[in-house]
Amino acid sequence: MKYSAKIVWQKNPSEIFTDGKYSRVHEWQFDGGMKIPASPSPSVVPLPMSDEKLVDPEEAFVASLSSCHMLFFLSIAAKKKFVVEHYEDNAEGIIDRNAEGKLAMLSVTLNPVIIFSENNIPSLSTIDAIHEEAHDSCFIANSVKTIIHINSK
């Protein structure tokens, strides 16, 4: 399978560019027609050359790991006949220097809160096992060096 994204940036006519004071706001375009305005994080590129309201690559990375985990969790729960009514994750990523001294997303912590149908609520050990299977199945998690923690509740 092949996946693609088109990333588009355009210099504003009034910007000099070579002075480094140009906008880094850009757009992510996907095959289904979705267009997402994006920007570097203001912690990486200062305002006004970035836009804190837009999604940045670091947030997208964390969201991608969380989303992949959630989709596998839901699939596994359904196969085990557990009905998930609501799934919410306030995932967090930590960037710091790695062993080589380079900035990297060292860890991502998933904090899923899951509400199951009251008719069939799995035990905490079953929920942990589903999380473990979801993590092992997530091809995004399998593609990165980042340490991924799951705080199961």
Q: 104-146 pLDDT, tens per residue?
A: 999 999 999 999 998 899 999 999 999 999 999 999 999 999 9
Residue 99 belongs to what domain range?
Answer: 57-150
CATH number of domain containing 121: 3.30.300.20
At how many degrees (to 10) do helices 124-137 and 57-79 cross? 120
Nearest to 38 by CA among 63, 13, 3: 63
Residue 30: strand, helix, or coil: coil
| Cut 0.85: pTM above it | yes
Same domain, 34 and 62: no
Same domain, 80 and 144: yes
Tell me the C-alpha distance between 106 and 88, whole Å. 23
Q: Total structural domains in the chain?
A: 2
Nearest to 39 by CA among 31, 106, 21, 48: 48
Q: Which residue has tokens 């589903």? A: 130
Tell me the C-alpha distance between 136 and 144, whole Å. 12
